[in-house]
Structure formats: structure tokens, C-alpha cells
Amino acid sequence: AQRVTQPEKLLSVFKGAPVELKCNYSYSGSPELFWYVQYSRQRLQLLLRHISRESIKGFTADLNKGETSFHLKKPFAQEEDSAMYYCALAIYRDDKIIFGKGTRLHILP
């Protein structure tokens, strides 16, 4: 069964410290993974996708097929990073996306 697991509901990190939001997936096909973010009072939006191998707002995420993980990382947290983060797995047979339950990132001053 396809599944996305985000083990942390809440992650509190001091400003300037490194951030790692964990995501593990279960999927028999070739995975296409995303991170979506929702800032306070804003709509949910795409942060980055693994195929692009890009860094957005200082965040990166590497797909590790051996560990079936797609952890989101940033070396130095900023206060504006406080938000809800969702890891997502694309199911291309159906054009659907399966979302994890989300991790709320709280950056402490």
C-alpha cells in the first residue's frame, strides 16, 4: 500500500540551528516526492520536488531509495521557516498525491 509517514507532529528548533524534517514512504513503483508548505494564513503551496534537485529558501531534500526516505533539510533555521510542512508522494497512474500527516515546524528565537 502507498503510504507517507512523517513521524514528528511538532518540531521546535532554535533560530540558526539545522533543521531536518523526516519523511518516509512506501510505494512499489518509482517514487516521485514533494514537500508542500503552509505558512500561517496562507494557502498550501509546493516547496520543492525531488526530480528538480533544487534548493528553495535554503531547503533541500534528497531521495534515498534504500531507506525509502525524503527528508527535508536546512542548515540554518530562520524564523520565517515556521510553518506546517507536508511530505507528498505522487501516484502517476492516478494523477493523485498522497500526503503525510504533516509536521509543524516552530523556530524559536
Partner 1 sequence: DVKVTQSSRYLVKRTGEKVFLECVQDMDHENMFWYRQDPGLGLRLIYFSYDVKMKEKGDIPEGYSVSREKKERFSLILESASTNQTSMYLCASSLRGITYNEQFFGPGTRLTVL
Which residues in this chain contact partner 1 in the complex, by CB under 8 A?
6, 9, 32, 34, 43-46, 49, 51-52, 86, 90, 92, 94-97, 99-102
d(CA 49, CA 43): 18
Minimum distance from residue 76 beta carbon to partner 1 (Å): 27
Report which residue type is found at 77.
A
Minimum distance from residue 87 beta carbon to partner 1 (Å): 10
d(CA 43, CA 25): 24
d(CA 22, CA 107): 16
CB nearer to partner 1: give 15 or 96. 96
CB nearer to partner 1: give 15 or 65. 65
CB nearer to partner 1: give 26 or 78. 26
d(CA 102, CA 100): 5
CB nearer to partner 1: give 45 or 78. 45
Minimum distance from residue 83 beta carbon to partner 1 (Å): 14
Place of cell 494523477: 95
What is the 8-class DSSP label of residue 76? S
